[in-house]
Amino acid sequence: MTVLMRNQSARSEDLDIRSMNFGKFRSSLTFRIVLYICALQIFSFVAMFALSLVIGTNFIEGKDRQLLDAKLTEYESVLKAEGLKAIEARIEDQKSTKVDHEFYVRVLKLDGSLDLKQLPYDLDDFDESKVLTELSVFRGPKKSFELHSPTSWDDRFLGFSKQIDSNTILQVGKSVEDWEDFTNHLYKGFLKALLPFTLIGLLGGYLIAKRSLRPVRSMIRTMQLVGNGTTSERMNINKTDYEFASMVDVFNQMLERIELLITTMRDSLDSVSHDIRTPLTRIRTRAELALRGPTSEEDYRSALEECIENAAELSIFATTVMDISEAEAGTMKLDLVDIDSHQLLSEVVDLYDIVAQDAQILLEIEQDSEGVTFRGDRARIKQAVANLVDNAIKYSMRDSDVYLKAERVGGSVRISVRDEGMGIGPADIHRIWEKLFRADKSRSLPGLGLGLSTVASIAVAHGGSVKVESRVGEGSTFFFEVPS
Map out the domains of the chain as residue ranges.
22-212, 217-275, 333-483
C-alpha gyration radius of the chain: 51
Q: Tell me the pLDDT tens digit for each residue of 263-305.
A: 766 765 665 565 666 677 778 887 887 777 667 778 788 888 8
pLDDT at residue number 482: 92
367 class by beta-carbon count within 10 Å (0-12 exposed, 13-18 middle, 19+ buried): exposed
Which residues in the chain come in under a pLDDT of 70? 1-26, 94-101, 120-155, 229, 231, 235, 237-244, 264-265, 267-278, 293-294, 316-317, 320-321, 323-331, 369, 435-449
Can you tell me the distance from the alpha carbon of 117 to that of 91, in angstroms, rounded to the nearest whole number?
A: 10
Can you tell me the distance from the alpha carbon of 404 to that of 141, in angstroms, rounded to the nearest whole number?
A: 112
Among 477, 434, 438, smallest CA distance to 453 is for 434
pLDDT at residue number 3: 47
Is it true that 22-212 and 333-483 share their CATH fold?
A: no
* Cβ within 8 Å of residue 164, ≥6 positions away: 76, 79, 80, 170
Can you tell me the distance from the alpha carbon of 223 to that of 236, in angstroms, rounded to the nearest whole number?
A: 13
Can you tell me the distance from the alpha carbon of 91 to that of 170, in angstroms, rounded to the nearest whole number?
A: 14
User: One-letter amino acid identity for 470?
Assistant: S
E strands, 378-442, are 400-409, 412-418
- For residue 481, what is the enclosing H or E element? strand 475-483
What b-and-e string marks burial along 471-484, b requiring 16 or more CB atoms within 10 Å of the CB?
eeeebbbbbbbbeb
Check residue 396 and report its DSSP letter.
B
Can you tell me the distance from the alpha carbon of 86 to that of 79, in angstroms, rounded to the nearest whole number?
A: 7
Cα-flanking dihedrals φ and ψ of residue 465, to 5°?
Answer: -155, 170
pLDDT at residue number 61: 82
pLDDT at residue number 152: 57
pLDDT at residue number 270: 62
CA angle 58, 60, 65 (to 5 degrees): 90
Among 346, 337, 417, 414, smallest CA distance to 379 is for 337
User: One-letter amino acid identity for 24?
Assistant: K
Q: Kind of pairing, strands 412-418 and 400-409?
A: antiparallel
Cα-based torsion angle of the residue sequence 55, 60, 62, 66 in order, rounded to the nearest 10 degrees: 160
User: One-letter amino acid identity for 27?
Assistant: S
Can you tell me the distance from the alpha carbon of 145 to that of 104, in angstroms, rounded to the nearest whole number?
A: 12
Can you tell me the distance from the alpha carbon of 156 to that of 134, in angstroms, rounded to the nearest whole number?
A: 14
pLDDT at residue number 397: 86
pLDDT at residue number 132: 44
Whether residue 459 contacts residue 483, with contact meaning beta carbons closer than 8 Å, is answered with no
Whether residue 268 contacts residue 276, with contact meaning beta carbons closer than 8 Å, is answered with no
pLDDT at residue number 271: 56
Task: Tell me, yes or no, if the pTM score tops 0.85.
Answer: no
333-483 — its CATH code?
3.30.565.10
Can you tell me the distance from the alpha carbon of 129 to that of 108, in angstroms, rounded to the nearest whole number?
A: 13
Distance between start and end Cα atoms, the chain? 88
Q: Please write down the long-range contacts of 72-77, taking CB distance under 8 Å and 24 or more positions apart.
A: 72/142, 72/160, 72/162, 72/170, 72/172, 75/105, 75/170, 75/172, 76/162, 76/164, 76/170
22-212 — its CATH code?
3.30.450
pLDDT at residue number 188: 86
pLDDT at residue number 443: 43
